[in-house]
Amino acid sequence: MTFGIFSTSHWTGRLYRENKTALASIAAFISIATAVLFYYTPVGQIEDWQMVLSFVSAVALGASLYGFARLFAMEKEEERTVIGNFFKKIDTPIDVAKEVYAGGRRQVSTMPLVGRTVIFLGILVSMSYFTKLEDLEVVAVTAMVAILLTFGGTLWILGKRADRKEEQELARLAQSTEGT
């Protein structure tokens, strides 16, 4: 029911602005239809409090439709313009050289940072050796520490290597432009 209210929000908001009586009639119809559905659906004897609760729920549904339509109608033209501009920007193709590769500025590699962070996590996990560990737990912690330290060290080394390679490439490029 909530999905129905939100999926028709544009339509109900417009109806609230243009014809509140029609919207109130629709909300009342939905309340009555839901109450009838609640009344005739249960199998077996239904308690009085359950019947009252079902009718109150049906009325709350109809009232919420009207109340939410009022909220949806409060959308202003500026807000619709902002949303339209957002979707227009999404549909606009990007300039890969400018937006993805930072317009020629040097990219910062995150691999060394992530590697150091993973190594630090491995050291933190190894602190569990200072607690009472069972035999199988020692094996699990040792495996975890080894994996974290190996993975972190690999990321750190590969990141540094990539940084050095990029610096050498930039230096060669600078030398070649000075020579011409």
Q: Encode pLDDT of 79-121 as tens digits.
A: 778 888 998 988 888 776 666 665 555 566 788 999 999 999 9
Rounded to the nearest 10°, the torsion over CA 71, 73, 79, 84 is 120
CB distance 117 to 148 below 8 Å:
no
72 Cβ partners below 8 Å, 6+ apart? 9, 10, 12, 13, 16
CB distance 73 to 17 below 8 Å:
yes
Query: Please, where are the H alpha helices in 19-110?
Result: 20-40, 48-73, 77-91
Task: Return the pLDDT at 108.
Answer: 67
CA geometry: angle 54, 55, 61, nearest 5 deg: 90
Closest listed residue to residue 63, CA positions, set 22, 21, 30, 103: 30
Per-chain mean pLDDT for the chain? 83
**How many other C-beta atoms can be found within 10 angstroms of the C-beta atom of residue 41?**
9
pLDDT at 33 over 70: yes
Task: Return the pLDDT at 152.
Answer: 96
**Positive or negative torsion for Cα 166, 171, 177, 180:** negative
Question: What residue ranges do the domains of the chain occupy?
Answer: 2-90, 109-179
CA distance linking residue 180 with residue 169, whole number of Å: 17
Model pLDDT for residues 34-67, shown as the tens digit of each residue: 888 877 776 666 777 778 888 888 888 888 888 8
User: Is the pTM above the cut of 0.95?
Assistant: no
Task: Return the pLDDT at 97.
Answer: 63
CA distance linking residue 85 with residue 63, whole number of Å: 33
